[in-house]
Chain A
Amino acid sequence: MKIIIIGGGKVGRTLVRNLNDEGHDVVLIDIKSAVVDAVGDAYDVMCIEGSGTDITVLEEAGVRTADLIIAVTEKDEHNVLCGIMAKKMGAGRCVARVRNPEYYHQLQFMRDVLDINMIVNPEYLAANEISRILRFPAAMHIETFAKGRIELVEFKIDKDSPMADIPLFKLYSDHKVRILVCAVMRDNEVIIPKGDFILHAGDRIYVTSTHIDIAKFINKMHVDNQRVKSTLIIGGGRISFYLARMLGELGIKVKIIEQDMDKCNKLTDMLPKASIICADGTDRDVLIEEGIDSVDSFVSLTGIDEENIIVSMYAKQNGINKVITKINRLSFMDIVEGMGIDSLVTPKDITADVILGYVRAMDNISKIANNEIRTLYRIVGNNAEAIEFRVYENPDIVGIPLKDLRIKQNVIIAAVAKGNKIVIPSGNTVIDVGDHVIVVTTGHLKHLNEILL
């Protein structure tokens, strides 16, 4: 694919390196000649000095024939404008980084109205990752669909799991969980389970739902025996805000220690459930006073890597099991990992990973060439595909309850996104035009129609 990256910061460079290694045609646009020179020296890509909102520069980069534009400059507005311009000039798709929390509630609107295919928010993604680690450490693998609103999570069934040895329909009805088991890996074989399927210990299952429902499911099933109940966050930046909100929704008690009074006031306004402490979170006495020995998880999110590391080590010393440390600079990650800190989170890396995932999915799709497919992941060690279809006019499927559709044996409809509402399908679910349908199959599908016998 031909990919144009605008902005050669850390995320931009990570993308350049990985995408170039994967054999894509990469063009980097950056306004600073130093960046252009450095990247041009280090990687075999085309580098152009100039602004991504300059038509001549975009033209020079070959925007008309580009499959994807990734705008990751410092400024949100600039990124969005780059995306819009590139799209209008003929680029295939665009990804823009938008990080200002003020835009957070209108991202959906911006995506739809401004025709930007993907908006990434590094802080939000980092918070999401941290919350995932806190929510289900047992989850082995996570993919997202419908712009992050549907998750596909992989679990292993333990011996004493309540899920073992009962049919799936009983599992759903007894526990009242809104989830769907869409693929099972047993003895190196992939099975698309029906309602009467019985799970055994040692199975690896793939579950789809929204992340809230998956969290509830996990708690009910005791998949994770170390359920996190409370967390202490050091630093009150954007990640803390998103994280506290996510954890709040899950009923986890959140305490944030932040030095800056203004920030504390703002956070208190925005996060009524969380308790906000105005103090120096790197002070030992403060930590003791705020009960570092009574929480079961700890997240250090200050702007200084060294402080994060030290504070995390202290938390670990106090017997906290789950300690998560944010690191911005990557060079010394391997040293830190050897120091007994559980989980390191690097927002820039996560952002790059998410974009890379998007590019890979897009690449998979481009090999099929079709506008119905929105996302495609190969799961269960490449033995099955999870595909997100957008539903167009289709008299064979639209408007008919699922129980009346004759669906292939190796296909399961795992979830349906109706706008913002996520439906875990049952027999009475009806698919409408404009819905996004997530289908899991052990075969290959090119069109939604192919799910039918």
Chain B
Amino acid sequence: MNFKMIGYLTAKIMLIGAAMLVPPLIVSFIYHDGCHIPFLITIAVFLLLSIPGFIKPKKTHMFAKDGLMIVVLAWIVFSAVGALPFYLSREIPSYIDCLFETVSGFTTTGSSILTEVEHISKSLLFWRSFTHWIGGMGVLVFAMAIFSGKDAKTTHIMRAEMPGPTLGKLASKWQFSVRILYGMYAFLTFVEFIMLLFGGMNVFDSLVHSFGTAGTGGFSVKNISIGYYKSPYIQYTIAVFMMLFGINFNIYYLLLVKKFQKVKANSELKTYLTIIVVATVVIMLNIYKIYNGFEMALRQAFFQVASTVTTTGYATANFDLWPQLSRTIIFILMFVGGCAGSTGGGLKVLRVSVLVKSALSAVRKSVSPKRVLTIKNDGRTIDGNEVEGVVTYFVCYVVFMFASLIVLSLDSIDLETALTAVVTTINNIGPGLGKMIGPAGNFHDMSVLSKIVLSIDMLAGRLELYPVLMLFMPEIWKR
């Protein structure tokens, strides 16, 4: 481990942190909500932390583990320091709560400990949602778009931060790829913002909800989330954009360069859309009786499905009160997540389809043991190592979930609440099931230990387990 180099690069990234706090600071000045002092202090802390980034170490060699380390470290420091504005403004009294809220923001989870969102200052609400936007595409990815990638082996960092089992480079240099990605990301966010404005939402709300959708985060500025806005236009717009942000961004690039054949051939996209359609139809039929009218049922079903499968976590209805079948489908969707290379969390459609396919081929093999089978994706054979990688990931994921569940059980909450709390945080969704943490509830009443564990789960889920799991390996800390 080249700790000096890790420190140097992590410190350099802290500059981004300082820059990130400028927009909320401006918001604070616009609304005169008195939160500018906490923001200024936080900026100062970030700048202080970035000082080692100006002294370049002699040995600049880096390997995969160093890259992973930088990612985890940057995310932890960002969350810890990013929580300061909430704490210093005394609007969230407990630091652990602030941390939980910030981690939830950066990891685009959207689980909140706030019981009364509407009482919080505008600039803090803006900051909360802005962390979604930054965290969605990645903090370090953002850093890379700005800094020159010459002094770092950037691939390791990209691999750790970009969601999904495979990594698609758009241009031959990371810096260009990342700029293209962020460009498309910003553009889509802007389009949503404009469309929400047209729907009659005010500027602040449109902006905040666009951030929440783009990062597939889910923080709202209303206690009952998007349910506050009764306009079907707004609900449909947000639902459609959630769905769009759950799609692999490479697809948009392919559309941009007019390679439509490749988009058509993308099997992950097809699976993703099929899952949404099927789940929506089944839930709609199931909840038809509760709502008056076909349109209402369709809208509620579609919104909740899109929100869950992309791991956003917005809600227009309290799906916790839906019939059991619908609840179960929502629960299952929590695991699926968005497409690889999107801002969504969860297992990712690609992994799920590889898992299902490899399970099927195992069954076929048990019938005729000598049969040779390959697993294909997009017409290309996925080699054994890759399949094994996905399976191992899944195993780690399940084990990690169970471990967290055990710790949460100390809290003497019911199994449904504990289980869905873990599932919703590790998959970066937001609300769980049950009275306490359902769409109408929040995580405020959990114990401190549970909040810490769930924060780790959120980070682990966002960074796709390995970087966080690595921290628990003793040998990584030995020189």
Contact = CB atoms under 8 A, between A and B. Distances in A.
Interface of A: 2, 25-27, 33, 40-42, 44-47
Contacts of B173: 25, 44-45
B145 to A, nearest CB: 13
B172 A26 contact: yes
A44 B155 contact: yes
A416 to B, nearest CB: 40
Contacts of B156: 41
A181 B155 CA distance: 51
B154 A46 contact: no
30 contacts: A2-B172, A25-B171, A25-B172, A25-B173, A26-B172, A27-B172, A33-B383, A33-B385, A40-B155, A40-B167, A40-B169, A41-B64, A41-B153, A41-B155, A41-B156, A42-B153, A42-B155, A44-B149, A44-B154, A44-B155, A44-B172, A44-B173, A44-B174, A44-B175, A45-B172, A45-B173, A46-B169, A46-B171, A46-B172, A47-B169
B278 to A, nearest CB: 32
A47 B385 CA distance: 18
Given A42-B155, A44-B155, A44-B172, 8 more contacts: A26-B172, A33-B385, A41-B156, A44-B149, A44-B153, A44-B154, A46-B172, A47-B169
Contacts of A42: 153, 155
Contacts of A2: 172
A279 to B, nearest CB: 46
Contacts of A25: 171-173
A381 B156 CA distance: 40
A26 B173 CA distance: 8
Contacts of B175: 44
Classify chain B: how many residues form its interface, as a range.
10 to 19
Nearest to A62: B172
A27 B171 CA distance: 9
Interface string B140-164: 0000000001000111100000000
A46 B170 CA distance: 8
Nearest to B177: A46
Nearest to A49: B380
B382 to A, nearest CB: 10
A251 B36 CA distance: 86
Interface in B152-203: 153-156, 167, 169, 171-175
A230 B17 CA distance: 70
Nearest to A61: B172
A391 to B, nearest CB: 37
B261 to A, nearest CB: 10
Nearest to B174: A44
A341 B10 CA distance: 45
Contacts of A26: 172
The 10 closest A-B CB pairs, nearest first, are A46-B172, A25-B172, A46-B169, A44-B174, A41-B155, A27-B172, A45-B172, A44-B173, A26-B172, A44-B149
Interface string B297-314: 000000000000000000
Interface centre among A26, A45, A46 (most CB of B within 10 A): A46
Contacts of A27: 172
Nearest to B144: A44
A339 B423 CA distance: 63
A45 B175 CA distance: 11
A39 to B, nearest CB: 10
Contacts of A47: 169
B164 to A, nearest CB: 15
Nearest to B176: A25
Contacts of A46: 169, 171-172
B157 to A, nearest CB: 11
B381 to A, nearest CB: 11
A331 to B, nearest CB: 15
Nearest to B64: A41
Contacts of B172: 2, 25-27, 44-46
Interface string B437-452: 0000000000000000
Contacts of A33: 383, 385
B280 to A, nearest CB: 35
A25 B177 CA distance: 12
Nearest to A26: B172
A45 B155 CA distance: 9
Contacts of A45: 172-173
A25 B176 CA distance: 11
Q: Which of B64, B154, B167, B169 counts the most A-chain CB atoms under 10 A from its CB?
A: B169
A326 to B, nearest CB: 29
Interface string B119-156: 00000000000000000000000000000010001111
A26 B169 CA distance: 12
A241 B175 CA distance: 47
Nearest to B383: A33
Nearest to A2: B172
Nearest to A33: B383
Nearest to B175: A44
A116 to B, nearest CB: 24
Nearest to B154: A44
Interface in B239-274: none
A44 B148 CA distance: 11
A323 B465 CA distance: 56
Nearest to A39: B155
A295 to B, nearest CB: 44
Contacts of A40: 155, 167, 169
Nearest to A40: B155
Contacts of B64: 41
A47 B158 CA distance: 15
A40 B167 CA distance: 10
Contacts of A44: 149, 153-155, 172-175
Nearest to A34: B385
A438 B139 CA distance: 54
B160 to A, nearest CB: 12
A302 to B, nearest CB: 33
A100 B331 CA distance: 63
A46 B169 CA distance: 7
A314 B76 CA distance: 60
